[in-house]
Structure 1
Amino acid sequence: MISTQQKLLSIAAHLGWIIGFPVLLPVLIFLLSKDDFVRQQAKEALCFQMAIVGAGIVLGILSFLLIGIPLLIIMGILASILPFVAAFKVLNGQKYSYPITGKYIAKKL
């Protein structure tokens, strides 16, 4: 059973981008928490947000060629929806792994 504190910290890691800390908040939660569930969810959120920032930079550069604009829109939609899905899953006491970066985390980290 996952405690309320574990849920709140995990949700905060996933939704840190709303308050303007997409990378900093998951890092802080990962470093300060001793709980394995919270650390795993913070790691998931951190890798996803770093991937979004990196892809945003690349697609921003590609938008000068006009190919990046539709991809930037799609990425923005995914970057807005997936953290809410993660927060909802964590709220229901389930582990969540992002479909894009989750496989990388399972293999490398």
Structure 2
Amino acid sequence: MNDEITKRKLLDAICHGSIFFSATFVSIGVPIAIFFISNDDIVQNNAKEALNFHLNVWVYGIIFGILTVVVIGWPLLGILGIVTLVMPILAIIKVLSHPNEVYRYPFIFRVL
């Protein structure tokens, strides 16, 4: 049982921390791979939540990048950068301290 919890913590932390690996498709490939490899519902739900966060960051990045033309996009991109750093760290802390709960990112659209 303890090995199962340790494995769950590790996989959940990797899913949420994958955004720090790369800004390309590598970061989104990690939660996808973990989603298909794992048969643990909590790990799969955390992988889906991490994927949703990645997709939201990309969509907001594109929108805010377009808004840089009218100058308002620059501060929004700065805020997005801070959120992209802080929220996954909070998610990792939460999944490591409460391995039987799925971390839900606030203020995102859930596509998956």
Same fold (TM over 0.5): yes
Equivalence map 1:1-109=2 (5 Å): 3-20=5-22, 21-93=26-98, 94-101=101-108, 104-105=109-110, 109=112
CA contact (8 A) 1:22 1:46 kept: no
**4+ aligned runs moved over 3 Å, structure 1:** none
Q: How much has 1:44 moved relative to structure 2?
A: 0.5
Render the CA deviation track for 1:12-43: whole Å, top value 9, x for unaligned.
00000111133111111111111000000000
Equivalents in 2 of 1:90, 1:26: separation in Å? 15
Gaps of 5+ in 2: none
Equivalents in 2 of 1:87, 1:56: separation in Å? 22
TM-score (norm 1): 0.88
Gaps of 5+ in 1: none
